[in-house]
Amino acid sequence: MGKEIERKYVVDTSAWKAKDAGTHFKQGYLNSQKERVVRVRIEGDRAKLTIKGPSVGVTRSEFEYAIPVDDAALLLDNLCEQPLIDKHRHKEVHGGKTWEIDVFHGDNEGLVVAEIELASEDEKFEAPAWAVREVSSDPRYFNSNLLKNPYRNWPKG
């Protein structure tokens, strides 16, 4: 069984700037229940179908499969819950670990989140200065929940 162990942080955009154009991601959900999500994603010129189980701490089951881009486009347009998640992903290495920084667009414009995948929940790592607040356990930051409650609707302050 595949496992994803991931920590997530809000990014201080005054301290972090993209070093490249990043990769455009368009993703949607065939199922976004708390117990399981089934995601379709086009990332650049590739596509994937991903199935994730519920989070326990910062760990959850994850199964990911390559699918044809044309099939993914049809699924996104015709079967996925709407609206879709639209973002650019940037990758940076800090402290020997790869960080993925997602810059959201559309209804989630203004949200920038960084993720780091770990080998174990207790693995030590050095967070960059721009990773200012951990939100790994805050379900609002799950992409599947950003459909139902987009960032633009969150109270600011």
Annotated catalytic residue: which of 29, 65, 141, 151?
Answer: 29
Per DSSP, which regions of 44-84 are E strands? Answer: 46-52, 59-66
Paired with 71 in beta bridges are: none
Q: Which of 4, 39, 3, 6 lies closest to 114, judged by CA?
A: 6
Phi, psi of 146, deg, nearest 5: -65, -15
Rounded to whole angstroms, how far apart are CA atoms 46 and 103?
A: 19
| Spatial distance between the Cα atoms of 92 and 36, rounded to a whole number of angstroms | 29
The rounded distance, in Å, linking the Cα atoms of 5 and 117 is: 6
CA 145 to chain centre: 11
29 is catalytic: yes
Neighbouring CB atoms inside 10 A of 53's CB total 17
Q: Which residues are catalytic?
A: 29
